[in-house]
Amino acid sequence: MHVPRRRFLHLAAGAAVLPFMSRVVRAQTYPSRPVRLIVGFPAGGVGDVLARLIGQSLSERLGQPFVIENRAGAATNLATEAVVRSAPDGHTLLWVTAANAINASLYDKLSFNFIRDIVPVASIVRGPGVMEVNPAVPAKSIPEFIAYAKANPGKINLASSGIGTVSHVAGELFKIMAGIDMVHVPYRGAAPALTDLISGQVQAMILPIISSIEHIKAGRLRALGVTTTTRLDVMPDIPTVSEFLPGYDVSDWTGLGVPRNTPAEIVDRLAAETSAVLNDPRVKARLAELGSLLMPMSRSDFGKLIAEETDKWAKVVKTAGIKPE
């Protein structure tokens, strides 16, 4: 059958438009049902509180519930695996954290490859940490602490919230860069470690600022340096660790991810809506109260951060000989 040229061109143009229109409609109708935001931590912690804040705001903007599903265990690997195995339709999201970058080299037999299987959607915040000591430690600065540790090799107990956690690898990186020997004492969570740090059972720890700022203000702990490369507004007089150990930079960052093969238009919609949430003055104020720093990045830059952090922590894990429990 002969089709006139003009008619053929009209048909061809229409066929080309169909996939585009399909993508537009898919983005406009998303989400079509409740969205699960899977968090690899127990309810009640800072990460859970942050996820609920962002989830509630996204729900208000997108008109569907964002249901927080806590899947604690295996250092967030259970949560990640659940998202990797879910349908790539934007209705299951992962609360991405620095733990995902650490776990890539810490665990040998993961059933997924995080960088391959999870698509970065949006960066959210950085959680700065603080190198702090019990006041009985005779050091009031990072240089004094390093000198004290060198004079007492293997006699300082450095606590962490668990093997392979951010507080653990942050401490190991500090030891490597400072050239000092401290004994790592892992706890099951930050709360019991903090209790023992205050009582003097352990001498030092790197903790999230939100967990310890009141103890620092009350004099129960002494802050030596913040782990980000810039000083914090809440403690402007406390120097950064990097002022004495150039290049030291650690934070517990967070963001959102989805399974690979999630349609690009849905990923873009989620990214745009999350950006709008983070520009909401109410959300900004609440994040500041939680001791978190906004981390505005493009999707591409967030992906680069994840890759860089994965490489960075792989070197620390190998050098320090860290093995999972």
pLDDT tens column, 185-232: 999 988 999 999 999 999 999 999 888 899 999 999 999 999 999 999
CA 119, 295, 292, 284: dihedral to nearest 10 degrees?
Answer: -110
26-126+252-320 and 129-243 have identical folds: yes
Q: How far is residue 96's CA from residue 120's CA, in Å, rounded to a whole number?
A: 8
Spans of all domains in the chain: 26-126+252-320, 129-243
What is the distance between the alpha carbons of residues 164 and 162, in angstroms, rounded to a whole number?
6
Phi (first) and psi of residue 204, to 5 degrees: -150, 160
pLDDT tens digits, one per residue of 52-83: 999 999 999 999 999 999 998 888 999 999 99
- Is the pLDDT score of 285 beyond 80? yes
- Take residue 90 and report the two structure tokens written for it: 């934007």
Domain 129-243 belongs to what architecture?
3-Layer(aba) Sandwich (3.40)
The answer to whether residue 234 scores a pLDDT higher than 90 is no
pLDDT digits (tens, 9 = 90+) for 129-163: 999 999 999 999 999 999 999 999 999 999 999 99
DSSP assignment letter at 251 = B
3-class DSSP state for residue 128?
Answer: strand
**Count of beta carbons in the 10 Å neighbourhood of residue 314:** 15
The pLDDT of residue 28 is: 75
Share of the chain above pLDDT 70, in %: 92
What is the side-by-side strand order in the sheet with 183-186?
A: 183-186, 157-160, 204-208, 129-133, 222-226
Q: Which of 122-126, 179-183, 276-280, 285-289 has the lowest mean pLDDT?
A: 285-289
Q: What is the pLDDT of residue 46?
A: 83
Residues 300-316 pLDDT 10s: 999 999 999 999 999 99
pLDDT the model gives residue 25: 55
* pLDDT level of residue 179 (50, 70, 90 thresholds): very high
What are the residues facing 293 on neighbouring strands?
126
pLDDT at 260: 97
What is the predicted pLDDT for the residue at 221?
98
Do 91 and 102 form a contact (C-beta atoms < 8 A)? no
The set of residues, in sequence order, having a beta carbon less than 8 Å from that of 124 and lying 6+ positions away, is 50, 54, 253, 254, 255, 256, 274, 278, 294, 295
Residue with tokens 């990214």: 271
Does 267 score more than 80 pLDDT?
Answer: yes
What is residue 90's predicted lDDT score, i.e. its pLDDT? 98
Compute the C-alpha angle 313/207/49, nearest 5°. Answer: 95
Q: Which of 281, 278, 289 is nearest to 234 (CA)?
A: 289
CATH 3.40.640.10: does it fit domain 26-126+252-320?
no
Residue pair 137/222 in contact by the 8 Å Cβ criterion: yes
Burial class (CB in 10 A: 0-12, 13-18, 19+), 18: exposed
Q: Whole-angstrom distance between the N-terminal and C-terminal Cα of the chain?
A: 71
* pLDDT tens profile 23-61: 555 567 899 999 999 999 888 888 899 999 999 999 999
Full-model pTM = 0.88
